[in-house]
Amino acid sequence: MKQQWRRSDQLPPNVYELPGGAPEPDEPSAALDLVYQAADAFRASQDRARETEERAQFLCRQASEKLRQAEMRAEGAERAYRELMVAVDQKLKDAHRALDQAQANLSAQMDKQVAAEFRAQQAEAEAREAKRALVLVEEAIRKRLLADSVREFDRLNAVA
């Protein structure tokens, strides 16, 4: 069952019409022309395929280079991020140490203040006790002096 295809819109999808149209089958040189046309069409198709392949390879190389550069930038950014995190971590550790030291200093100062307040209270109590003792000594002196003075006065009055 042989079909004849006369028009290009009736050609099967994998058959292409040659430029210049198909020659009549009874001409001998026409067949040779047809072979040359087919070879030229095949070469042109191969040239287009080679150009397309070269273009695809060029685009692949470009994409590969862009990918390599993007990876390098990503690695640089990641390295910078790690360095930043190390620096931040170190600063946090330093701040933590400084805070611990400040808290220790504050605690020591508070302990000193409590001790000073205790000593002050103790000194005040001792001062009050010393005042009381002084008052008692003063009263004892007065009583004794007055008592001696009154006895002396009485003795003098008795003699006179």
Q: How many domains does the chain have?
A: 1
CA-based torsion, 66, 68, 74, 79: positive or negative: negative
If phi > 0 it is left, if psi is from -120 to 50 it is alpha, else beta; for residue 120 that is: alpha
The answer to whether position 5 is within a domain reads no
The answer to whether position 9 is within a domain reads no
Work out the pLDDT band at 138, boundaries 50, 70, 90: confident
The answer to whether position 160 is within a domain reads no
From residue 115, give the alpha-carbon distance in Å to each of 2, 112, 118, 121. Answer: 120, 5, 5, 10
The answer to whether position 29 is within a domain reads yes
The answer to whether position 1 is within a domain reads no
- What pLDDT, in 10s, does the model give residues 22-69? 555 556 788 888 889 999 999 999 999 999 999 999 999 999 999 999
The answer to whether position 10 is within a domain reads no
Task: State the residue range of the domain holding 128.
Answer: 20-153
Taking 80 as the threshold, does the pLDDT of residue 160 lie above it? no
The answer to whether position 40 is within a domain reads yes
> pLDDT at position 29, please?
84
The answer to whether position 2 is within a domain reads no
- What pLDDT, in 10s, does the model give residues 74-120? 999 999 999 999 999 999 999 999 999 999 999 999 999 999 999 99
Q: Give the closest residue to 21 by CA, choosing from 11, 92, 2.
A: 11
